[in-house]
Amino acid sequence: MDDVQEMRSPGTLHGASPSYTLGKRRTDHNLLIPEAELKGLGAELHYTQRGGDITFHGPHQAILYPIISLRSIGIGARNYVETLERSMIEFASVYGVKARAGHKGETGVWVGDRKIGAIGVRISSGITSHGLAFNIDPDLKYFEHIVPCGIADKEVTSLRRETDDMLLPSEEVIHEQLVSCLAKAFSYDDVVWKEDPSFILDNQEEYKD
């Protein structure tokens, strides 16, 4: 196939430091505590040139950045985002979690009124970057210090919380399952999967969470 099909994982399953990122709109008001207090939380704040509002990245999230030529596969931006949503919804169903795409004014993937997966993409010359972040078992207390994605009065949830006492496999297995769901959604038989911890902050120009 001539289309680019690569999956980048910024490596936030275990080792990444907790961080908040703000996009180019600089919506600092959605950070609910003084920046000086972040160090006490063990977190950092990063200003980026991406789109979208404030979001959180940390350990025990599965983050995938597909790099795909949309022109080669003949789909547009909206269809691409909807395919990312479907892949996370399909993945959640593996564990009996009924997820849905966001309603009007909402982004990402939800379980009821609780957000479990974020989507943000950049498309340049028909090539995608960024992608999705799915909460496996992050420390949800970090989300209490922001208005996630600029949407007030909505909870954030995780696969661990939604599955109660279900015994989950290792996060590496879960991550591979998510990659498989994404590849299936795009009808790919094979993908290149690279782990790159630096990718999360170096390439966020248009991350719309």
Annotated binding-site ranges for substrate:
50-57, 118-120, 131-133
Q: List the one residue out of 1, 19, 2, 152 whose CA is nearest residue 10.
A: 19
Q: Say if CB 109 and CB 119 are below 8 A apart.
A: yes
Which residue ranges make up the annotated binding site?
50-57, 118-120, 131-133
Residue 177 has which token pair?
């399952």
Q: Cα(128)–Cα(137) distance, rounded to whole angstroms? A: 27
Of 89, 149, 181, 191, the active-site residue reads: 149
Q: Cβ neighbours of residue 140 under 8 Å, at least 6 residues apart? A: 156, 157, 158, 161
Annotated catalytic, 149?
A: yes
The catalytic residue positions are: 149
